[in-house]
Amino acid sequence: MVSTMALRKRTLAPKPISEEPKSKKRSESKKEEDYCDACCENCGSGNRASELLLCDKCDRGFHLFCLRPILVAVPKGSWFCPSCSKDYKPTDSQKKRRRNSGLVMSKKSRKLLPYNPSEDYIRRFTVEADKYIRDLTIITEYVGDVDYLRNRENDDGDSMMTLLSAADPSKSLVICPDKRSNIARFINGINNHTSDGKKKQNVKCVRFNVNGECRVLLIASRDIRKGERLYYDYNGYENEYPTEHFV
């Protein structure tokens, strides 16, 4: 009885191998045959197949380096070519949900206040200290186009700064901030004809040699409180600038 059972067991037909792996292999090989002639739509070449990206909608091929912008690597998930991506609209399930953090909610609740500029018809442009400035602090550099003084004798600009005073007036240089300038152009000047003018001065003009070039820097001449207007002497050593109308 034992031998009969062993014989039957030994002679039993093996279980039929599932045809699913074969069909799977055949489908994969068929796909490879279908895409073996794929080529790049931009350069027309089918070389470097490992870098040839196929659109999930139209099955057209594109090299990673032929796309604009260039893709560094094959993207994970679905990819659509530039023409198909214009018509592609992700479903609600594919849209990423953002967490409503406290920071985002606080930003949404903010209100931007309107900018209401104030005008001073007497002083026009003024510059104020937005925070406490210590004595000898470099505030800014006086910048602009550098030109010979002789070329600007008839210039109607009111913000020219002497850069170099040469013994020969034809070689003197000035800074003209009419086209290129910064905040230094709008700092107020003191009135040299009143006793209170000198008391208002809190900025001085100093020239330095920086890598062989003359630079004009505006430096705090004393401690400046927050909200205090900045003043410096427009004349310096020349006393040629008319400041009697300054307030």
Tell whether 247 is covered by a domain: no
Both 159 and 75 in one domain: the answer is no
What one-character-per-residue DSSP string does 76-118 give? SS----HHHHHH----TTTSPPPP--HHHHHHHT--PPP----
Contact 129, 155 (CB under 8 A): no
Both 72 and 151 in one domain: the answer is no
Tell whether 112 is covered by a domain: no
Which residue segment(s) compose the domain that 75 sits in?
Answer: 30-86
Instruction: List, in sequence order, the alpha helices (H) in the chain.
Output: 2-11, 20-35, 82-87, 102-108, 197-200
pLDDT over 80 (residue 191):
yes
- The Cα 145–Cα 171 span in angstroms is 16
| Per-residue model confidence (pLDDT) at position 103 | 45
Tell whether 14 is covered by a domain: no
Q: How many residues does the chain have?
A: 247
For the segment 45-94, what is each residue's pLDDT rounded down to a tens digit? Answer: 888 888 888 888 888 888 888 887 777 778 888 888 888 887 666 555 55
| pTM given for the model | 0.48
User: Which CATH number is 225's domain given?
Assistant: 2.170.270.10
For the segment 109-158, what is each residue's pLDDT rounded down to a tens digit? Answer: 555 555 455 556 665 678 899 899 999 999 999 999 999 988 988 887 77
Q: Give the residue from 169, 158, 163 showing the smallest Cα distance to 145.
A: 163
Q: Using a pLDDT cut of 90, give the percent of the chain over it.
A: 21
| Per-residue model confidence (pLDDT) at position 20 | 52
Tell whether 65 is covered by a domain: yes
How many separate domains does the chain show? Answer: 2
Tell whether 23 is covered by a domain: no
User: Which CATH number is 61's domain given?
Assistant: 3.30.40.10
End-to-end Cα separation, the chain, in angstroms:
127
Tell whether 151 is covered by a domain: yes
Pair of tokens at residue 55: 């659109």
